[in-house]
Structure 1
Amino acid sequence: MNLIARRKDEQQETTTVRVGDVIIGGPQVVVIAGPCAIESYEQLLSTALEVQRLGATMLRGGAYKPRTSPYSFRGKGIGGLEMLSQIKALTGLPVVTEVMDARDIERIGEVADMFQIGSRNMQNYTLLTEVGKTKHPVLLKRGLASTLEEWIYAAEYIMAEGNDQVVLCERGIRTFETYTRNTVDITAIPALKELTHLPVFLDPSHGTGKWSLVSPVALAGIAAGADGLMIEVHPQPELALSDGDQSLNFEHFAELMEKVKPVAVVVGRQLSPE
């Protein structure tokens, strides 16, 4: 019996993961929001202040971005981390940012409260092993076309090194459908609750690729039992250097947050910590 399955047998309740003062896996539906990629200090600061005002309790922002084309904007690197650090200090929001290379773990860990392992690196076992040796919480996104079993085994690589602070994040998988960027597997959320004790997030931004679909899919995820949402927000999505089509502007993010509240209540959760 594998590590996660064994622990699931021993404890039926979801493991809680602490990121700063935020508890993931408890009664609160946690919302992580921010830009796909850090473009400038002003862009990140304005977004951080607005999503915090509207109820997000964690900030996302990519300093290093894996892109399909090497000619696309791939982040500001160390400069992006410095901006993230400054805005974290100003707002007090815990931050999550992606780590792509094991050589960057220490540097990113000085800023990030939570490491994100992106879908392209879900089966980068060297990276998973090195992240597992840290005490940092990890947001592990599902691979582009991975099965639940493959995804769970990826989490096992982290946990086998002693780091049990892992959150699984459904972000859609690649199917024959072309209208949406990916196909969101809502079934994965309750299924993972049956198969593991780990908290489960939903990223409807990458899952759909269209800002107009983010809100309804996010609500479906909460109804299905997701412990939180990861939402891409940008002050001017039409000018974004990365993933503008799937990013919410401030107005649309405000509308989503208002809709999340009653859905969370219906399933016995809350949006704000008591």
Structure 2
Amino acid sequence: MIVVMKSTSSDADVQHVLSFLQNHGLSGHLSQGVERTVIGVLGAVGPSGAPGSLGGINPSIGEALEGLPNVEDVVRVSKPYKLASREFHPEDTIVEVPSACVEGGIVRIGGKEVVMMAGPCTVETEKQLMTTAAAVRKEGAVILRGGAFKPSTSPYGFRGLGEEGLKLLAKARDEFGMAIITEVMTPSDVAMVCEYADILQIGTRNMQNYMLLDEVGRTRKPVVIKRGMSATFEEWLLAAEYILSQGNRNVILCERGIRTFEKATRNTMDISAFPLLKRLSHLPVLSDPSQGTGRRDIVGPLSLASVAAGADALLVEVHPNPDEALKDGAQSITIPQFRELMPQLHAVAGAIGRSVITK
């Protein structure tokens, strides 16, 4: 359930509600908007294990909450994800990421500006990373992607450079000013990756690795959570809920294609995800058309389609020589292709009343 406070409520009124919830074994998550303050109420299901009419919370609690000072309304949320829902947080969440290459030093994901994140799928060598970073920054990317740890379907595939790759990413950030997004794969690696990365990425295979989600939730680093390759929207948003419930509000959803019967592409990019998620959730939504297609020849069109459909940012794989890439070369676009994509991206964003942040 959600407790909606009156516009005249004071900090003391809000604290009174939070204390009431705590005294009844519940937790309250505060969301302060421009027009109103709401408190998301989380509680365990009843003894039978089946949620009650209030998501497992005793109905008498809801009635008691309605009687507290300056409580305007108590809304019963029908969705199993509370903190990720649009009902809990009517206004769009904007995730702020420090990035020295832009004016003011902050990139905001979820507002009117579209954000380009680009770089190699995997950090292979210093030369490969620095060449790519220089090229994508020149064309307007403000966040550098690169995998130091890479999950692989085959145990014999290249699995990344580990901490050495993180150090190279940090070196690229120092040289070009871009923020860094990289994947973290295990709970034990979270602290180490946080030392280097500005954004933590949860890959499709780890979307339901709940111990990992809890661990990144205990950080305050922005987290990109990719959709599981066969996940529904509800399963995806419940995975985001794990992170949010630990107190980390800096969560970004990433559509990266789902597994279907189609063989022409590696995955089937779900363009419907962007407008639908905007209705269901307040969280920013990112598009990864490289993973979403597995084909560099259609990464560009899918990037443009994603922005037209409402994506707040793009995560694009770029490689100086994709045919020689150690990982996922078939879905990595070349530097000239990236150079061609960026002005098209500006045009599409402008057509729908948005812009692309580049500096």
Instruction: Check if 1:3 corresponds to 2:82.
Output: yes
Amino acid at match of 1:236: N
- Could you list the runs of 4 or more consecutive aligned residues of structure 1 that deviate by over 4 angstroms after TM superposition? none
1:5 deviation in Å?
5.3
Amino acid at match of 1:163: N
CA–CA separation in structure 2 for the residues paired with 1:44 and 1:265: 31
1:13 deviation in Å?
2.8
Output one character per residue of 1:27-54: Cα deviation in whole Å (capped at 9) or x when no partner.
1100100000000011101100110000
Aligned to 1:258: 343
1:154 deviation in Å?
0.1
Amino acid at match of 1:199: P
Structure ranking higher in strand proportion: 2
1:9 deviation in Å?
2.3
Aligned to 1:145: 230
Instruction: Check if 1:63 corresponds to 2:63.
Output: no
8 Å contact 1:3–1:160 — kept in the other structure? no
Aligned to 2:207: 122
8 Å contact 2:94–2:109 — kept in the other structure? yes
1:273 deviation in Å?
5.7
Query: Which of 184, 199, 204 pairs up with 2:289?
Result: 204
Amino acid at match of 1:4: L
Aligned length: 273
Query: Which of 235, 240, 243 pairs up with 2:325?
Result: 240
CA–CA separation in structure 1 for the residues paired with 2:142 and 2:113: 10
Aligned to 1:23: 108
8 Å contact 2:149–2:160 — kept in the other structure? yes
User: Which secondary structure does the structure 1 equivalent of 2:266 belong to?
Assistant: coil
Amino acid at match of 1:60: R
Aligned to 1:97: 182
CA–CA separation in structure 2 for the residues paired with 1:29 and 1:61: 20
Amino acid at match of 1:191: L
Output one character per residue of 1:204-263: Cα deviation in whole Å (capped at 9) or x when no partner.
000000000101111110000000100000000010000100101110001111110110
CA–CA separation in structure 2 for the residues paired with 1:155 and 1:12: 17
Output one character per residue of 1:177-219: Cα deviation in whole Å (capped at 9) or x when no partner.
0110000110011110000000001100000000001011111
Amino acid at match of 1:17: V
8 Å contact 1:28–1:273 — kept in the other structure? no
Q: Relative CO higher for 1 or 2, CA cutoff 8 Å, sep ≥ 6?
A: 1
User: Which secondary structure does the structure 2 equivalent of 1:4 belong to?
Assistant: coil
1:4 deviation in Å?
2.9
Instruction: Check if 1:107 corresponds to 2:185.
Output: no
8 Å contact 2:92–2:110 — kept in the other structure? yes
Aligned to 2:357: 272
Q: Which runs of 5+ in 2 are unaligned?
A: 1-76, 99-105
1:10 deviation in Å?
4.8
Amino acid at match of 2:311: A
1:97 deviation in Å?
0.2
Aligned to 2:128: 43
Q: Among the aligned pairs, what percent are the same residue?
A: 52
Structure ranking higher in helix proportion: 1
8 Å contact 2:83–2:245 — kept in the other structure? no
Aligned to 1:85: 170
1:92 deviation in Å?
1.1
Aligned to 1:192: 277
CA–CA separation in structure 2 for the residues paired with 1:78 and 1:220: 35
CA–CA separation in structure 1 for the residues paired with 2:184 and 2:89: 30
Q: Give matches, 1:146-161, under 5 Å.
A: 146-161=231-246
8 Å contact 1:225–1:267 — kept in the other structure? no
Relative distance call for 1:248 and 1:273 in structure 2 (3 A) is: closer
Aligned to 2:36: none
Question: Normalising to structure 1: TM-score of the pair?
Answer: 0.97
1:94 deviation in Å?
0.3
Query: Which of 9, 12, 18 pairs up with 2:90?
Result: 12
1:267 deviation in Å?
1.1
User: Which secondary structure does the structure 1 equivalent of 2:83 belong to?
Assistant: helix
Q: Which runs of 5+ in 1 are unaligned?
A: none
Relative distance call for 1:9 and 1:264 in structure 2 (3 A) is: same
How large is the Cα RMSD of the aligned pairs? 1.1
CA–CA separation in structure 1 for the residues paired with 2:134 and 2:179: 13
CA–CA separation in structure 1 for the residues paired with 2:247 and 2:163: 28
User: Which secondary structure does the structure 1 equivalent of 2:123 belong to?
Assistant: coil
Question: Normalising to structure 2: TM-score of the pair?
Answer: 0.75
